[in-house]
Amino acid sequence: MRNPKPSLPFGDPTKPHLLVLGSGWASMSLLNQIDTRHWNVTVVSPRNYFLFTPLLPSCTVGTLELRSIMCPIRFITGHKKRSVKFVEADVVDIDPQSRHITVKSRQESLELIDKATDASLPYDYLVVGVGAQNATFGIPGVGEHANFLKEIWHAKRIREKVMDCFETASFPGLHPNEVDRLLHFIVVGGGPTGIEYAAELRDFVEEDLVKWFPDVAKRVKITLIEAAPNVLASFDSSLQLYTEKHFQRENIVVRTSTAVREVKEREVIVLEKSKRVVEETHAIPYGILVWATGNGPRPLTSKLAQKLPHELQNQKRGLVVDDHLRVKGTDRIFAIGDCAATPYAATAQVATQQGGYLGRLLSKYGKEVENVVGCGKSVRDACEEVDRNSQEKGFAYTHRGSLAYIGTDRAIADLPGNARLAGFATFLFWRSFYLSSLFTLRNKSLVMFDWTKKILFGRDIARE
C-alpha cells in the first residue's frame, strides 16, 4: 500500500475528463470501481480523506481515535491504473451549459502570497457526490448552540466539551443546580447516529469517568429526544422496543413524541405530546446538546437545482435523478449519495451501492468512447454518441440489513429474511462487519489496536 505501482499519466487527450465532487461513501465507491485506463479523472473535495462515518460516535468518547477511521484519498487514487488528480478545494459553482465548475482554494498559503484562489475546471462528465449537511428544520438556535455529529471536527469538539463539563462540574463551591445542568447530556434524534452516540457516552461514563470523577459522575443524566413515537424508525418494531427497554435499564431517558421548538445556550424548549395532554412545553437545561436528526441539501446542491427546470428538480432533499443516476434536466451530470433525491434512505449502504453502480457504468462508457475516438471522432463527439446510444440497466438497490450499537457490548441487527438479532453476539457481528468494511489494512489495524487499548488501559480523559 505504501508503494503504488507506476500508472498511466493523467491528461491523455484521447480520453474523456471525469470530475468527481466529494470524498464520501459514494465517491470513494465509484473510484474503487471505475477503470481509470479509459478516463482522465479529477477528484475535488474540501477534505483530503475519506471518513468512515459509522464509527464516528466512538470517536466522541475516545473508544477510537480520529485518525483510525480516516483514509487519505491518495491512498486510494494512488493505486489506480491511470493517475487520478486530486484538488483540495470548495466547489462554489457548476455551469451545466459550458461544462465547467468553479473551485475556491482552501489553502491559506495561496492567500498569503496573493495567488488566485479561484479556478475553473472543465469536464466531459461530472459526478456530484457532495453529500448533505445537518438539517435544522428552521428551529431557532440549533446552528448556534447544538453540536452536530457528521465530520471529524464535530467529534473532536464533542469530546472536548464532554470533558469540559466534567472538569467544570468538579469546581469547588459550584451550585448543585449548575452541576446537574452541566452533567445533563441531551441527544436529539432517535436514528442510528443518535442511538449510538448515547450508548457510547453511557459506556464512557460507567466504564471510565466514574473512576476519575466519583463525586460528580453519579449525577450524570443522558436524555434522548425523538419527535416520532419510536426510536430507530427504519428497524423492526421488536428491535425498537428492545432498544428502548435496554436504554431504560441503563438509565438513559428516552422521550419520544417530543419535538424541539428552540435551542438556547443552556436549555432546550421542547413540545411534548401525550395521551393525557395534547401538547405541553418544557424547558430542559443541558450541558451539551448533540443534534443527530435529518439531512438537508448543501448550498452547492441547491444552487445547481435552481439552474434547472423546476418541474424536473422539485425535491428539497436534493437533486432528482433518473434510473441511471443522471441529474434530470442535464446531460453528463450524475448525482450519487446523500445529495441525490431517490426513494432510498440516506445511508452509507445506499451511497456505496450507487457509487459502485456508477463506477461500473462509467467504465463501460469509457471503453465505448475510446472505441468511437479510435474511428476518428473527437472526444466531445464520441461522448455525445455514447450518450445517445446507451442502453444500460438502471440502478437497483439491494438492502443488506441495518446495524446499530446500543451500549454495554450490545447491538441490534435487522437483516434480510426477517432475521432480527440482538445482544452480545450481535455486538461481535457489528464489530466484525464494520472492521471488514474499512477500506485499508492500515485502518483495520488501527481500529483493532484502539479497541484493544481501550480494554487494557481505558479511554483517555484528557480534554485537549
Q: Which domains does the chain have, with CATH numbers?
A: 17-132+297-389 (3.50.50.100), 142-294 (3.50.50.100)
Q: Are the CB atoms for 138 and 156 separated by under 8 Å? A: no
Residue type, 282: H
Whose cell is 426513494? That residue is 343
Q: What is the pLDDT of residue 110?
A: 60
C-alpha torsion 446→448→453→458, nearest 10: 110
Pair type for strands 333-335 and 125-128: parallel
H or E stretch at 382:
helix 379-389
Q: What is the pLDDT of residue 99?
A: 94
3-state SS assignment for residue 439: coil
Beta carbons within 10 angstroms of residue 13's beta carbon: 9
In this prediction the pTM is: 0.93
Farthest CA pair distance, the chain: 84
Whose cell is 424508525? That residue is 233
- CA–CA separation, 32 and 405 (whole Å): 28
Chunked into runs of 10 residues, the chain (464 residues) has average pLDDT values of 87 93 96 94 95 96 95 92 94 94 79 69 96 93 95 95 95 94 96 96 96 93 95 95 96 94 95 71 94 92 94 91 94 94 92 96 91 88 84 90 96 94 97 93 96 95 82
3-state SS assignment for residue 402: strand
Alpha helix positions (H), 170-285? 176-182, 192-204, 210-212, 237-249
- CA–CA separation, 420 and 404 (whole Å): 12
